[in-house]
Structure 1
Amino acid sequence: MIYQGAARHPVTAIVIHCAATRPAWMDDRPFAEQVAEIRRWHVTDNKWRDIGYHWLIGRGGEIRPGRAETEVGAGVAGYNSGVIHICLIGGHGSSGSDTFSAHFTAAQDVSLRQLIQGISMRTRITRISGHNEHAAKACPGFHIPTWLRQAA
């Protein structure tokens, strides 16, 4: 089981996000620099203590850690304790009802599914949702329940 913060909240949920970046955003830069830029947005612009996401997935399917899984994230106002936040690079101009493939790559699909499976092997996940299920946003730019069914 994964626990977060001093209160040791058991992790039971995953929320999927998008960076709302264009497909070619920083594509000439290493993925580590893209993650560093998002961290800068969160720390410098938002005045948070760290990047809000626990994991980030690049356009080529690369996976990089953000905030430690044992720390409470900052992905959804009022819904962060006991939640792992995963962010996909891309999603600019998306709506909450778009298909995954409209804004993200096949490599991201594979990596996201594998990451969810890996997290689920380390803690009991009872809910996987999109940011748009908790707030009036398009993020992550696709309908999570439909995407999850496609893997079955």
Structure 2
Amino acid sequence: MARPQHKTFDKKKSVAENRKARFDYHIEDTFEAGIALTGTEVKSLRFGEGSIGESYAEIKNGECWLVNSNVPEFSHGNRYNHVPKRPRKLLLHEREIARLQGAVERKGMTLVPLSIYFNSRGRAKVELALAKGKNAADKRHTIKERDWKREQGRILRDHG
């Protein structure tokens, strides 16, 4: 029996993507989580600024936190501006947090943010993945597959 496909999240405006995560990790499962942000953080994200290239998520005291994500200061924020690399709370249900914590503790998996986006209602969301790290051989295989697909496209385009 085929595995059921994940529902795609309603992404209206993508702000930041962690493209390297799909190369460095085997993605097992994805979750959509809200982010607790301050006003200047939201404004900065709406301008398309922010990065999650080096960030990860961790669970502390029954709460999920996005660590090391960079949302630069808002240009017109004056003294009410935020700290750019502060840990941000992710909004998930208790059952989801318990499931994630169990996978991280028992199976040695990692919580990796894949993208930050605004949904159709204008809320900032994070696509969070439960992932297992790839070793060097897996990464080489991924590169080989990607190059072959690119070459296949060229061959079909030229002779098709």
Into which bin does the TM-score normalised by the smaller protein fall?
Answer: under 0.3
TM-score (norm. length: structure 1): 0.22
Greater share of helix residues, 1 or 2? 2
TM-score (norm. length: structure 2): 0.22
Choose 1 or 2 for highest CA Rg: 2
